[in-house]
Amino acid sequence: MKQVLQRMAEYNGKSADALLAIIEKAPADLRTKDVGLFYKSIDGTVEHMAWAFALWLKRFSGFGSYPCLAAGGMLSRPLEEIGAEIKSDSVKATALLREANALIEQFVNELPVVEFERRVSYRGNDGKVLERTMWHAIFHVLNHGTHHRGEISAVLDQNGIANDCSGFSLYIH
């Protein structure tokens, strides 16, 4: 399981970097326009992805002592502060998403094999306590990124902006 999640985390980072590079070159009015996505715009979706990855990295840091997550940076700051900082600031949201993607890849790479099957508990956004297997939680986070990159890719397609960031085999050999 570890090897699968390592490749998925690697794919997550590489495909996100490729898509973010395309988004950065897209017209600003397209990036901020309400195009019917759950988070309205491309930039709103990137903000959400960055915030959600930060949220999950904070959750993961609460499950045990993991050196890469204890190093500080984004995880030492309150989530509300992070959210306020990236709100309507595509440069900061993009930077945070890249940082979070790199950190989750490092986390998966450094996580001891025995940890993947461990049950972990956390509070959902609605306050309810949830229990999952660690690898399920990691898979959820990585799959969540794939979902939102797919949404953005469809909007880019509809607007004639070439992108092909979804193919796992394009990034993982």
The tens digit of pLDDT for each residue in 28-40 reads 999 999 999 999 9
| CATH code assigned at 166 | 1.20.120.450
Q: Which residues form the domain of 56?
A: 2-112+119-171
pTM here is 0.94
Q: What is the DSSP letter of 37?
A: B
Give the number of domains in the chain. Answer: 1
- Please determine, for residue 168, whether its predicted confidence score (pLDDT) is greater than 70: yes
Cα–Cα nearest to 156, from 40, 44, 22 = 22
Both tokens of 146, joined, read 């794939």
Residue pLDDT, tens place only, 47-67: 999 999 999 999 999 999 999
